Structure 1
Amino acid sequence: MAILEVRNLKKIYKPRFGGNQVQALSNVSFSVEKGEYVAIMGESGSGKTTLLNILAALDKPTGGEVFLEGIPLSSIKDQKICEFRREKLGFVFQDFNLLDTFTIQDNIFLPLVLEGKHYKEMKKKLDPIAEELGIAELLNKYPYEVSGGQKQRAAVARALIAEPRLILADEPTGALDSKSTDELLGLFAKINQRGQTILMVTHSVKAASRAGRVLFIKDGEVFHQLYKGKMTDEQFYQKISDTLTILATGGEVQ
């Protein structure tokens, strides 16, 4: 069953003071099945960020439609979109997006606070997540007191605590060192194995090689896709690298 459907998505930016229009997305269509782990790759300017913003209901398309669990995002009224986003989506960003004036615990609680949940209910949800992610001893610290990898674990906990239908990750390993990257990708794999659907935008071949499918965006369209199948991470890494080289040189992907 498709949890996310993207149909003929287009996005044109019109300059406020004249000048040429910019077509960021021209005709994007794909679907993501429940429980899938999908990576989106492409060169800078290919439309990845625009696509992610539209999927997150942070931007509206010029044409086409996005369906989340069969609900068209265009049908949701503006005053309800924040609530919809909070209930259905979890976000993991490259720069963590944690508030330095809040403890790690309060940062993680934030989506539930906005829903009006009580402390006991929030704590009950947090404890097993914090234990699993290895941040139980950091909950009373502030973001500036912990490492980048620990911040990203806190961001993952914040994304998970509201039990989202879909996690959207934007370059989640971009600000991490090699060790923290490996740890985060291991966590994503574990979360996905439990049935969590993940859609990740990344420049990292290493990160993409841990996904089950990779979509390649070029010139505002889905140009190609690869399925991991029974390939190892190393084999998939090489396949992704070869495909990116072909795309960069203008060759044809078999």
Structure 2
Amino acid sequence: MGLLKVKNIKKIYATRFGNQKVEALKNVSLEVEQGEYVAIMGESGSGKTTLLNILAALDKPTSGEILLNGKNIVEISDKDISAFRRDHLGFVFQDFNLLDTFSLKDNIFLPLVLSRKSYKEMEKRMAPLADDLGISDILGKYPYEVSGGQKQRCAVARALITQPELILADEPTGALDSKSTNDLLTLFNKINENGQTIIMVTHSTLAASHASRVLFIKDGEVFHQIYKGDKTNEEMYQNISDTLTLLTTGGVSNE
């Protein structure tokens, strides 16, 4: 079932003095199925971060539609957009975006506090998540007291606790060491196997190799894609590496 449908998205920015326009996205169309795990890759300036920001309702396209379960998020008013993001989307960032003055538990609870959920409901949702993510014993600590990998696990818990339709991850392994990276990617696979839809923007071939599909963005367009199918992570890694090489040398046709 199609969860997300992106139709003919364009994004045009005016330069600082307004005398020149930059087309960051050009007629981008794509679909993401319920339960899919999609990675988006591309060189710096390719448009992938612009696309993620638009999918996250943090920015509006110049034209086009974005349908999440049939609802066009482009048409949601500025007044209602924060509540929509909080209720329907979960976010995992490279730099974790945790508040140092809040305990890890309170950081995870924050979106539910803003949604005015009862403490009983928050505790009910927290318990299984903390257990699954292996963070039950650190919930009373503060972000500056734990490792990067532990911070990212708490950020994942915060994203999941709202029971979102879609998780959006922006370079989630970018600030992690190799062990924490592998732990997080294993965790994402487990979350996805439980039915959670994930879209991840990444520069990391290793991270992308865990996804079920990889979209390559070039010059503001979806230029190519690879489906994992029955490939191993190692085979997917090699496919992605080869494709990135061909993309930079102009050897892959738009498809």
**TM > 0.5:** yes
In 2, Cα distance between the equivalents of 1:6 and 1:244?
Answer: 24
Q: TM-score, normalised by structure 1?
A: 0.98
Letter in 1 for 2:168: L
Measured after TM superposition, the shift of residue 138 of structure 1 is 0.5
How far apart are residue 22 of structure 1 and its match? 1.0
Equivalent residue for 1:88?
Answer: 88
Name segments (4+ residues, structure 1) moved above 6 Å. Answer: none
Offset at residue 19 of structure 1 (A): 3.3
Q: Which residue number corresponds to residue 250 of structure 2?
A: 250
Asked if the contact 2:92/2:170 (under 8 Å) is kept, the reply is: yes
**1:37 aligned onto 2:49:** no
Moved more, 13-22 or 167-176: 13-22
1:184 maps to which residue? Answer: 184
Give the corresponding residue for 2:47.
47
Amino acid at match of 2:35: G
Give, in angstroms, the shift of residue 73 of structure 1.
1.0
1:78 alignment partner in structure 2? 78
- For 1:60-79, list aligned pairs within 5 A: 60-79=60-79
Aligned twin of 1:6:
6
SS of the aligned residue for 1:10 comes to strand
Deviates more, 1:118-127 or 1:34-43: 118-127
Residues 52, 201 of structure 2: 8 Å contact kept: yes
- 1:55-108 per-position Cα deviation (integer Å, ceiling 9, x unaligned): 011100011111111100122121111111111000000000000000000000
Q: How much has 1:186 moved relative to structure 2?
A: 0.3
CA distance in 2, matches of 1:172, 1:155: 10
CA distance in 1, matches of 2:125, 2:71: 27
1:121: which partner in 2? 121
Aligned-pair identity in percent equals 70
| 8 Å contact kept, 2:92–2:156 | yes
- Write the letter of the residue equivalent to 1:78: D
1:16 Cα deviation (Å)? 4.1
1:105 aligns with 2:105: yes
User: Which residue in 2 is equivalent to 1:217?
Assistant: 217
Extract unaligned runs of 5+ from structure 2. Answer: none
Bigger Cα displacement from structure 2, 13-22 vs 127-136: 13-22
- Tell me, in whole angstroms, the C-alpha distance in 2 between the residues paired with 1:27 and 1:241: 26
Note if 1:230 corresponds to 2:230. yes
Alignment of 1:152-231 (within 5 A): 152-231=152-231
In 2: Cα distance, 1:56 partner to 1:3 partner: 14
TM-score by length of 2: 0.98
Alpha-carbon distance between aligned partners in 1 of 2:93 and 2:74, rounded to the nearest angstrom: 24
Whole-Å separation in 2 of the counterparts to 1:44 and 1:34: 28
1:52 counterpart letter in structure 2: L
RMSD across aligned positions (CA): 1.0
Name the amino acid aligned to 1:229: G
Once the two structures are TM-superposed, the CA of residue 199 in structure 1 deviates from its matched residue by: 0.3
Counterparts of 1:74 and 1:201 in 2: how far apart (Å)?
Answer: 21
User: What amino acid is the match of 2:71?
Assistant: I
Q: Distance in 2 between matches of 1:173 and 1:16?
A: 32
1:56 aligns with 2:56: yes
SS of match in other structure, 1:183: helix
Counterpart in 1 of 2:23? 23
Q: Which residue of 2 aligns with 1:139?
A: 139
Q: Match for 2:213: what amino acid?
A: R
Q: Indicate the larger mover: 147-156 or 6-15.
A: 6-15
2:4–2:68 Cα contact (<8 Å) kept: yes
Q: Structure 1: where are the runs of 5+ without partners?
A: none
SS in 2 for 1:251: coil
Cα deviation digits, residues 146-168 of structure 1 (max 9, x gap): 00000000000000000000000
Secondary structure in structure 2 of the residue aligned to 1:132: helix
Partner SS, residue 116 of structure 1: coil
User: 1: CA distance between counterparts of 2:232 and 2:100?
Assistant: 39
Report the CA distance between 1:198 and its aligned residue.
0.3
Count of aligned positions: 254
Aligned residue for 1:140, secondary structure, equals coil
